[in-house]
Amino acid sequence: MNSSVSNGQFAVRHLLVDEDSAGQRLDNFLFRELKGVPKTHIYRIIRSGEVRRNKGRIGADDRVEAGDVLRIPPIRVSERPAEKAAMAVPARTFPIVFEDEAFLALDKPAGVAVHGGSGVSSGVIEQLRRARPQARFLELVHRLDRETSGLLLIAKKKSALKALQDQFRERETGKTYLALVKGRWPERLKVLDQPLHKYLLADGERRVRVVEAGHPDGMRSVTLVKVQRQLPAPPGVGAGSPEGMSLLEVTIKTGRTHQIRVHLAHAGHPIAGDDKYGDFDLNRQLVRTGLRRMFLHAWRLRLTHPVSGEAMELHSELPLELHAWLDS
């Protein structure tokens, strides 16, 4: 169903999603289909509504289904810059928590995007592919915010990718994060069940907010919270958080964009260092104490092995900069 290519110029194309691609996010699907097209441009045509699914709009993180027909607008591709861009990606290795022939779990540092796009030239997946040129297949199973550290799964086989993504979609995995928040979290508040609505700012940046039940654009979102320990505010921060701070174990039952950050902030306990939904005055005080990142870490992941069916539990301990800050 694809039109021909001439002088690097595509006409309008219509792509049919096959069974192997079912369940993939739209952006991932297009990254593979539109080789040589900058990811920033792919995100731009998605945001503008020029990419259509079955004649309707579709978001970058919506999942495509077998039989979907995607309309792709005309795109000019310059192969030489694309090749140069690929060569410019730095090879980088990351601490490996688990690896076998099906998938690997790595420890993503804070400040590194999981993939290139939206102003980021490259991320974990591009850098890992560059470091492992012999690998025939490496694909992100899920995502973490750029500011979040911790466990990230990479599939090494297409069958493993589908099996693991099915587990995430069917909520069969247990994803638990460690988050340090402002104030004293009430022990009785253990379940946050509030719909979330995703929207775009004028500059195209994504934001999320809690909406009332029944909102036409609200997506049900469930977050479980357990207090691991209560902490006094560090010296010089008392006025910003007079009740101290709380270290939470946060388990998400749904995987919405910025879910933990928005739910905790809406409850009146924003995450320390969160530059989108946090307490900005408190963040400035925390920087002076040495906390220069958001305190959110993907700590534990329970899943079923995609090949053996064995139950697994993976852990990523707090990175040194967060552990040292807590100890101090």
Which tokens in the block code for residue 98? 């688990």
Residue 156 contacts residue 135 (beta carbons within 8 Å): yes
Kindly write down the DSSP assignment for every residue of 147-194, as one continuous string: T-EEEEEEESSHHHHHHHHHHHHTT-SEEEEEEEEES---TT--EEE-
Whether 145 is catalytic is: yes
Instruction: Give the closest residue to 141 by CA, choosing from 110, 107, 178, 169.
Output: 169
Residue 148 contacts residue 288 (beta carbons within 8 Å): no
**List 68, 145, 274, 279, catalytic entry:** 145
For residue 32, give every residue at least 6 positions away whose Cβ sits within 8 Å of its Cβ, in sequence order, or none.
Answer: none
- The Cβ-side half-sphere exposure at 298, using a 13 Å CA radius, reads 27
Strand ranges (DSSP E) for 232-270? 245-252
* DSSP helix, strand, coil percent of the chain (3-state; round to 5): 25, 30, 50
For residue 190, give every residue at least 6 positions away whose Cβ sits within 8 Å of its Cβ, in sequence order, or none.
Answer: 224, 225, 226
Residue 53 contacts residue 70 (beta carbons within 8 Å): yes
Residues annotated as part of the active site: 145
